[in-house]
Amino acid sequence: MNRVKTWLLSVFVLLSIATLVVAQERNEIAFPDIEGYSTLKCDLHTHTVFSDGNVWPTVRVDEAYRVGLDVLALSDHIEYQPHKADVPTNHNRPFEVALGRARELGIILIRGAEITRDTPPGHFNVIFLKDINPLVKDDLVEAIAAGCEQGGFVFWNHHAWKGEELGRWLDIHSTLYEKKLLHGMEVANGDDYYPTAHRWCLEKGLTMVGNSDIHGPDLLQKNTSAEHRTMTLVFVTEKSEQGVLEALRAGRTAVWCGPLMIGKPEWLTALAEASLEIDPPHMRSKTSVWVKVRNKCAMDLVLKRTGQFGPAEVTLKANTTAIFRINVPDASQPIPLEYEITNFLAAPGEGLDVSYTIPAP
């Protein structure tokens, strides 16, 4: 009896040792939660070997985990499958193959598809699908409508990838928009930022997204301010698939592409408020105060003074604290600091205005 017990115990110990680590080396991306919402890092447009990508679906999940993403959509082309001879057409298979791994790693996995037509009218991602097969239709509007009937969220991808002229807004886009079959646009795809899409989203109330559209293996080890995946920050009330969908429908996003954060002014303002922290002065003289200024986010913030006080121009490096000495006529009074964050784009070519007041002693 005792020998059986000892044997069972050693099997149990061995099993626990063997199953301790499912995955490691996740490089977290530091963007703070904003007032009232959690911030999720999302890539909503990626490819696998099931269309023209070069990796197996589970690899996309492992990569997403490694670079610190929370949400991943697999969105293989419906109409374009160059590996068809080796990987047969099965539109739902990438999601099914990857789901187990995504659950293990705590990644929210979304079933999506890229409807791929000539440009114009271009490519459209439909995500949060239950079944991709009903979207296999010749007529573009019917294909997108079949996605919407399942509760899908639709965005127009990389509108200007073949140039502004071929990426212009046509009647077909108005039809989709008026029938409520178009909900968002990529304002960034890979390293490209599309100011025109940014403007259309502001004018038409479309949700801004930005994604990698990755096809090859992701060779990044982690995201840095200088080099990172293009991603959508989604501000959710609940960290779940439903939570992400609700936030996308409400337009609560910002897009990190290269050195830029692109978005609607209200969400950029909320993100700036959460990212920049200014301590009360730790030292004062009659005409100066010394303050700590903390950048709590993963991107460098480029500040330009628009008011009277503080340094004229400064770059706050990602995840660092700087100390400013601010000269004023009378340091016993509150000190207004007014700045533009020039790499937070509230509209094409327009930075985001922010202001803080250093309290009187």
Locate 121 and state its tokens: 């009218």
User: Quick one: which segment of 21-29, 149-157, 292-300, 339-347 binds Zn ion (CB under 5 A)?
Assistant: 149-157
Contact mark string toward Zn ion, 17..56, x via CB under 5 A = ----------------------------------------
Q: Which amino acid is at 118?
A: D
Q: How far apart are CA 107 and CA 109, in angstroms?
A: 6
Nearer to Zn ion, 160 or 276 (CB): 160
Question: What is the contact mask toward Zn ion in residues 153 to 192, using x (rule: CB under 5 A)?
Answer: ----x-----------------------------------
Out of 213, 233, 281, 316, the residue judged to bind Zn ion by CB under 5 A: 213
Give the residue at shortest CB distance from Zn ion.
123
CB of 126 to Zn ion, least distance (A): 12
How many residues of this chain bind Zn ion (CB under 5 A)? Answer: 4
Residues in contact with Zn ion, shown as a per-residue x/- string from 117 to 146 under the rule CB under 5 A: ------x-----------------------
Residue 64 tokens, joined: 């997403």
Residue 353: its H or E element: strand 352-358
Stretch that binds Zn ion, among 31-39, 86-94, 152-160, 258-266 (CB under 5 A): 152-160
- The torsion region of residue 317 among left (phi > 0), alpha (psi -120 to 50) and beta comes to beta
**Residue pair 84/136 in contact by the 8 Å Cβ criterion:** no
- DSSP for 314-358, please give it: EEE-TTEEEEEEEE-S-TTS-EEEEEEETTEESBTTB-EEEEEEE
Closer Cβ to Zn ion, 62 or 213, answer by number: 213
301 closest CA partner among 313, 317, 320, 312: 317
Interface positions with Zn ion (CB under 5 A): 114, 123, 157, 213
